[in-house]
Amino acid sequence: MEGGLDFGVIWTNLTYFMVGRYPGGPMGGVLLTLYLAVVSLIISFFGGMILGLMCVVRNPLIRYPTVAVVNLVRGIPLLLVIFWMYFLLPFVMGRTTPESATVIAALSLFTSAYMSQIVQAGIEGIPKGQTEAALSTGLHPWHAMVFVVLPQALRNMIPSFVNQFVSMIKDTSLAFIVGVSELTQVATQVNNRTMIYPAEIFLFIAIVYFIICFAFTTLSRWLETRLAWRKAI
Amino acid sequence: MFSYQFDWSVVTSGQYFEWLVSGLKITLELSVWSIIFSFLLGLIIAVMRMSNVRPILWFSHAYLEFFRNTPLLVQIFFWYFGSYQILPKAINDWLNSVNFEFAAAVIALTIYTSAFIAEDIRSGVRSIPKEQMEAARSSGFSYLRSMRYIILPQAVRLTIPPLINQFLNVTKNSSLAMTIGVAEITYQARQVESYTFKGFESFTAATLVYLGLSLVIAGLMTLYNRRVLSPMMGGK
């Protein structure tokens, strides 16, 4: 309490917080956080699309197992998904996997499950007449989905995707648990080394996360009003 | 490749079973305390968010945006490691006299969740027709009293389903408390794994616990919608 907060510790470690040992060594800090989030986002975009489509197909042999898996993943905490991956990936791959790959796999699986719900809702939100019109002009059901329904659905899903990306950025902090040196891990390292500035350090990284996430939240709100406006015309 | 020997008895009986049960107990305690406090705090923030007084409005807006856009883990670390620097000595002494890890986890979970609950309550309030407020005000209720007696009782009923959903999120988010040493179910599953090398069994046990909780809570939600909400909406 004495003397208030002293943010000097942030300035002396600023490069470490931002990029880790990057140019000379492995990536770390904010850079690694963004790297994890972007790679997992790309994977879970496609993963969510595939799972979402599998949740709406007619074939019950595909549909019900997919729905079950999606609900299973959504029912457990991300931390447990990370532990599962940490434990299972070496078994499945037959060799040790790097920690960052474990985290990317866990984040991708977890977010794909949530993305699939967005995709499903997006597809169901397109009026049935669109599919019927596409089918009656002679398109194959898959072509009707890919060329008629999905392009319209995707546009409506964009704000939800951005929100999911914000959650993903926040979730990368859990990579800390398996020792990936992203922002939160870097902060605990600096905290363990300096000992007496925990409030300053964690407040600082909270603000860093906030700036990144808030930028995307604002983007998503802007997109939402803009897309709604376009639709109204 | 699959040379793994399954041994389910590890998690279905004996000492490790007891560890898991005590973990479940702590998960439930953590979640119940956090949801109660975050509902109360969320209610306050929601009312502030709808106020006409500029500084109160700004404060509540900043609160909502800040706590929703920072990771829960960072908030947990902030309260756990940093509370002695920023809280008055009296509160810190009290926190140290109780179970400090548990208290820090409840504080972090409460503040994080209250921001989401406040938004749920706000959208509940916004779905109550404006005339209700005008009628209350014109019959002489003050703003706070109209909220208290007219608007909130109706809005809270609409807010229960998203609130139940938040409770589900809290039970899942409470797993992060393991990082500061609260022995909840994920922590215990990890312990069992490192003592027995039976990761598959112990993580399955934890997974089933969370799924069981999800099913029970989803069941409650259905029951509520059928018994309370649909008659209410039908009566409108």
* Min Cα separation A132/chain B (Å): 33
Rounded average pLDDT over B207-214: 94
Q: Which domain holds residue A215?
A: 24-232
**Is B3 a domain residue?**
no
Spatial distance between the Cα atoms of B202 and B191, rounded to a whole number of angstroms: 9
What confidence tier does A1 reach under pLDDT thresholds 50, 70, 90?
A: very low
Angle ∠(B165,B171,B175) on CA atoms, nearest 5 = 140
| Residue A197 buriedness (CB in 10 A; 0-12 / 13-18 / 19+) | buried
Residues present in chain A in total: 233
Mean pLDDT of chain A: 91
CATH number of the structural domain spanning residue B220: 1.10.3720.10
pTM for this model (two decimals): 0.90
Closest chain A CA to residue B191: A83
B50 pLDDT tier (thresholds 50, 70, 90): confident
- Whether residues B71 and A170 touch (CB distance < 8 A) is answered with yes
Output the CA angle A131-A66-A224, nearest 5 degrees: 55
Q: Is residue B52 part of a domain?
A: yes
Instruction: Give the residue-averaged pLDDT of B203-223.
Output: 92
List residues of B whose CB lies inside 8 A of any A CB: 1-2, 4, 65-66, 68-75, 77-78, 81-86, 88-89, 172-173, 175-176, 178-179, 186, 189-190, 193, 199-200, 203, 206-207, 210-211, 214
Identify the pLDDT of residue B2.
Answer: 59
The count of domains in chain A is 1
* B81-90 residue pLDDT tens: 998 888 888 8
* A117 and B CB contact within 8 Å: no
pLDDT above 70: percentage of residues in chain B: 97
* Residue B234 vs residue A129, higher pLDDT: A129
- How many domains does one find in chain B? 1
The answer to whether A42 faces chain B, any CB pair under 8 Å, is no
Name the nearest CA neighbour of B188 among B59, B10, B56, B67: B10
- How many C-beta neighbours within 10 Å does residue A5 have? 14
Facing residue for B210 by CB, picked from A76, A166, A210: A76
Residues paired with A29 in a beta bridge: A182
Comparing alpha-carbon positions, the chain B residue that sits nearest to A163 is: B69
Give the rounded percent of residues in chain A with a pLDDT score beyond 70.
97
pLDDT band at B159 (very low <50, low <70, confident <90, very high): confident
Token readout for B57 is 């409005």
List the single residue in A166, A200, A206 with the smallest CB-CB distance to B74.
A206
Query: Measured between CB atoms, does A72 come within 8 Å of chain B?
Result: yes
Residues A151-160 have pLDDT tens digits of 999 888 998 9
Taking alpha carbons only, the member of A183, A182, A201 closest to residue A192 is A201
pLDDT band of residue B234 (cuts 50, 70, 90) is low
pLDDT tens digits for range B123-140:
988 888 889 999 999 999
Report yes or no on B1 lying in a domain: no
| Residue A153 contacts residue A122 (beta carbons within 8 Å) | yes
Q: How far is A9 from chain B (nearest CA, A)?
A: 14
What ipTM was assigned to the predicted interfaces of this complex?
0.91
Residue in A closest to B79 by C-alpha: A199
CA distance B139 to chain A (A): 37
- Residues of chain A with C-beta less than 8 angstroms from the C-beta of B82: 198-203
Q: What's the rounded mean pLDDT across residues A10-34? A: 89
Number of residues that make up chain B: 236
Q: pLDDT-derived band of residue A171, with 50, 70 and 90 as boundaries?
A: very high
pLDDT band at A21 (very low <50, low <70, confident <90, very high): confident
Q: Does A3 touch chain B (CB under 8 A)?
A: no
C-alpha to C-alpha distance for B207 and B212, rounded to whole angstroms: 8
Tell whether A205 lies on the interface with B, counting CB pairs under 8 A.
yes
Range of the domain at B215: 10-235
Chain A residue numbers touching B211 (CB-CB < 8 A): 72, 75-76
Could you tell me where the beta strands, DSSP code E, fall in chain B?
none
A60 pLDDT more than 50: yes
| Domain at A215, CATH number | 1.10.3720.10
Asked if the model's pLDDT at residue B1 lies above 70, the reply is: no
Residue A126: inside a domain, yes or no?
yes
The CA-based angle A157-A158-A164, given to 5 degrees, is 90
- Residue closest to B4 by CA, chosen among B161, B196, B216, B153: B196
